[in-house]
Amino acid sequence: MIKIRNLVKRYERLTAVDNLTLDIEENEIFGLLGSNGAGKTTTIHMLATLLKPTSGTATVNGFDIVHQPAKVRESIGIVFQAPSSDDMLTGYENLYIHSLLYSLPRSIRQKRIEEVLELVGLSDRKNDRVKTYSGGMRRRLEIARGLLHKPKVMFLDEPTLGLDPASRETMWKYIRRLVEEEKITVILTTHYMEEADMLCNRIGVIDKGRIIALDTPTNLKAGLGGDIIRIKTQASNAEEIAKGFDFVHKLEYENGFMVLSVKDAKRDLPVLLKQIEAEYADFTSPTLNDVFIRLTGRNIKEAPEGGFSERFAKYD
Amino acid sequence: MPNTTDLQVHLAKLYAIWLREFKVFLREKSRLVASTFTPILWLFVIGSGIGSTVSVPSAPDLDYQKFIFPGIISMSIIFTSVFYGSYIIWDRKFDFLKSVMVAPVSRGTVFVGKTLGGMTNSLIQASILLVIGASIGISFNPVFILQAVAVILLLSFGLTSLGLALGSYMYSLEGFQMIVSFVVFPLFFLSGALFPLDNLPAWLSVLTAIDPATYGVNALRTTILDIESNNLAADLAILTAYTAALGIFGVYSFRRMKAV
Ligand SMILES: Nc1ncnc2c1ncn2[C@@H]1O[C@H](COP(=O)(O)OP(=O)(O)OP(=O)(O)O)[C@@H](O)[C@H]1O
Ligand SMILES: [Mg+2]
């Protein structure tokens, strides 16, 4: 659905997107995960034809982003990092104006507007000025606007930035629903690990303009070497038994616990417990945050030098 | 050759841009009130104050207040139109423009739509002033009114274009103040809105001749008061040329404006 080839965006002093090559399949939720200033927004802006690449190419829905911008625009919907509706107008009016800009036939205009309002749960507030909306409602209105013309591809730049945990989960629900109901491909950017993990079929970890890892969340985490099981036991043969299993990669002792590295604790722990008389057992799975730290040597909240967060401070 | 449906699609987009401008205009009442109040203040305070001591040599029968009436209408057009254009800085700051530019709409359409919005705005304000003009004894007839409306639309098209073009190069609201000092006030003061142009020092004559608003003021004076210059056709021709040039400059500026 999207083919990116050697895409580069260079500003005077830095390279915001550095030789990006990537394919995004139809009907997937693809996540670009990266810290502030990683180049996520810059990438989205180039794909949405708002920014000219310094070099390289990409096609969206088969259309070249540099040479066929109008075709690309008809194919995409986008939710920007910062809200972009006119807050002097009502939700409905904002959508109406965009329905004209996207040349929705008169006969279906109103029906389609009601439909997208329903989808994002704003029907009862449609005649209120956007000024009076909460942050979450504004974001949902932006999603509705992005969906109006039934785009093939939807870009969501930090769709849940600044939302509280409850609204964030509602937003995830909407995003999943729109992939199911509208059959579209979603590219979202985020620096919330949990979001990438819960929502995305595949994740590209982007750092300083480069994709440094690309896989499903499960595989990325599995790449770290599986889960960690901790067992407390008095049994003297425990170590011997544990070492007898193939799935145990490593065995250590820590604070009186026997610590085992295994591939999949949910399957392996019950097997172990059948053989070992344990007083206590638990396990932890690696998170995407562990993946990120492994890949970049940083926590995702720490921006690389010269982060870009200031510019969007008001939403963070 | 575009067929009718192409044309309709195009007009619908133009209408969309205009509609947004118009709705915002209707809702920003304070803007309308403020920008109508200032010209009224000028008309009555400056008009009567200065009018009590001076008269216009080329038209001794005409009191000063009446003389500056067309100038005050021009004043309202100059301020409103150029400001209107430069609100584009806000649109960009609040990302509304980005949402328009990512839609399949040409920059030219966005430009013209916004200009039409500015013209509507100016026309409404000028109409209010024209009505107030009746109270100072200005008499109208339908032909004059039609001519005046044509001049108002021409002038405001040109000046909204200018504001939009300048605004498209600016990224901060501080730039706004520059537009006021270096564009709006000179356009107004040099237009002859407040004084007759017959006996000016040479340097000032040159400047007034360069100011596009001069031709608008002249044309309005001719149509509304039937004095000053009798070469309405020449004024209109020059004004049209200016307006066309500013329109082209505006479209050019919009095309090269960065979207993000
Ligand atoms: N107009 C610009 N001029 C110069 N540098 C820019 C410009 N826009 C972005 N950059 C730089 O490009 C880099 C990538 O920015 P981008 O906005 O794509 O990051 P991001 O991943 O979206 O970050 P965030 O999570 O903060 O939104 C940053 O270092 C930023 O400073
Ligand atoms: Mg960003």
Share above pLDDT 70 across residues of chain A, in percent, rounded to a whole number: 95
Q: Determine whether the shortest distance from the Cβ of A190 to ligand 1 is under 6 A.
A: no
Nearest to A100 among B15, B28, B101 (CB): B15
CB contact under 8 A, A97 and B24: no
Q: What span, in angstroms and rounded, lies between the C-alpha atoms of A23 and A3?
A: 5
Atom of ligand 1 nearest to the CA of A191: 25
The number of residues in chain A equals 316
Long-range contacts of B192-195 (CB under 8 A, 24+ apart): B192/B71, B192/B217, B192/B218, B193/B68, B193/B70, B193/B71, B193/B72, B193/B74, B193/B75, B193/B217, B194/B46, B194/B68, B194/B71
What predicted TM-score, i.e. pTM, was given to this entire model?
A: 0.87
Q: What are phi and psi of A275, to 5 degrees?
A: -100, -30
CB contact under 8 A, B260 and A50: yes
pLDDT of residue A249: 85
Share above pLDDT 90 across residues of chain A, in percent, rounded to a whole number: 55
**B contact test, residue of A43, A51, A68, A84 with most B CBs within 10 A:** A84
Share above pLDDT 70 across residues of chain B, in percent, rounded to a whole number: 97
Share above pLDDT 90 across residues of chain B, in percent, rounded to a whole number: 61
The mean of the pLDDT values for chain A is: 88
Cβ neighbours for A163, distance < 8 A, ≥ 6 positions apart: A135, A136, A139, A171
Nearest C-alpha in B relative to A311? B93
Q: What span, in angstroms and rounded, lies between the C-alpha atoms of B247 and A230?
A: 74
Say which DSSP state A50 is in.
S
* Set of chain A residues whose Cβ sits within 8 Å of the Cβ of B99: 80, 84-85, 98, 145
Pick from A33, A2, A78: nearest CA to A299: A33
- Across residues A13-35, what is the average pLDDT? 93
SS3 B236: helix
Q: Determine whether the shortest distance from the Cβ of A13 to ligand 1 is under 6 A.
A: no
Atom of ligand 1 nearest to the CA of A81: 27
DSSP bridge pairs for A55: A8
pLDDT of residue A120: 86
Using a CB–CB cutoff of 8 Å, tell me whether B13 touches chain A. Answer: yes
Give the domains, in start order, of chain A with CATH numbers. Answer: 2-220+294-313 (3.40.50.300), 226-285 (3.30.70.920)
| Distance from residue A6's CA to the centre of ligand 1 (Å) | 18
pLDDT of residue B178: 85
Please say if the pLDDT value at position A305 is more than 90.
Answer: no
Pick from A175, A208, A191: nearest CA to A288: A191
The 3-state DSSP composition of chain B as helix, strand, coil percent (nearest 5) reads 80, 0, 20
Q: Determine whether the shortest distance from the Cβ of A39 to ligand 1 is under 6 A.
A: yes
Using a CB–CB cutoff of 8 Å, tell me whether B170 touches chain A. Answer: no
* Set of chain B residues whose Cβ sits within 8 Å of the Cβ of A49: 102
The model's pLDDT over A218-261, given as tens digits with 9 standing for 90+, comes to 888 877 777 889 999 988 888 889 888 988 888 889 888 999 88
Q: What span, in angstroms and rounded, lies between the C-alpha atoms of B246 and B240?
A: 10
Q: Give the model's confidence band at A166: pLDDT under 50 very low, under 70 low, under 90 confident, else very high.
A: confident
Token couple for A134: 């909460």
Under 8 Å CB pairs connecting chains A and B tally to 68
pLDDT of residue A311: 37
DSSP state letters, A161-180: TT--HHHHHHHHHHHHHHHH
Q: What span, in angstroms and rounded, lies between the C-alpha atoms of A139 and A107?
A: 27
Please say if the pLDDT value at position A309 is more than 60.
Answer: no
CB contact under 8 A, B28 and A88: yes
Please say if the pLDDT value at position A316 is more than 80.
Answer: no
Q: What is the ipTM of this complex?
A: 0.90
* Set of chain B residues whose Cβ sits within 8 Å of the Cβ of A80: 95, 98-99
Pick from B222, B177, B36, B15: nearest CA to A100: B15
Q: Give the model's confidence band at B230: pLDDT under 50 very low, under 70 low, under 90 confident, else very high.
A: low
pLDDT of residue A315: 36
CB contact under 8 A, A48 and B102: yes
Q: Which of A41, A54, A80, A300 to mutate to test the pocket of ligand 1 (most atoms within 8 A of CB)?
A: A41
| Distance from residue A103's CA to the centre of ligand 2 (Å) | 29
Q: What span, in angstroms and rounded, lies between the C-alpha atoms of A198 and A220?
A: 13
pLDDT of residue A308: 40
| Distance from residue A42's CA to the centre of ligand 2 (Å) | 7
- Across residues A168-195, what is the average pLDDT? 88
SS3 A35: coil
State how far residue B103 is from chain A, nearest Cα, in angstroms.
Answer: 6
Q: Give the model's confidence band at A314: pLDDT under 50 very low, under 70 low, under 90 confident, else very high.
A: very low
State how far residue A146 is from chain B, nearest Cα, in angstroms.
Answer: 9
Using a CB–CB cutoff of 8 Å, tell me whether B10 touches chain A. Answer: no
Alpha carbon B120 to chain centroid, angstroms: 10
Please say if the pLDDT value at position A313 is more than 50.
Answer: no
* Set of chain B residues whose Cβ sits within 8 Å of the Cβ of A48: 102
pLDDT of residue A301: 65
Nearest to B98 among A50, A70, A88 (CB): A50
pLDDT of residue B153: 96
| Distance from residue A34's CA to the centre of ligand 2 (Å) | 9
* Set of chain B residues whose Cβ sits within 8 Å of the Cβ of A102: 103-104
Using a CB–CB cutoff of 8 Å, tell me whether B134 touches chain A. Answer: no
pLDDT of residue B32: 87
Q: What are phi and psi of B257, to 5 degrees?
A: -65, 140
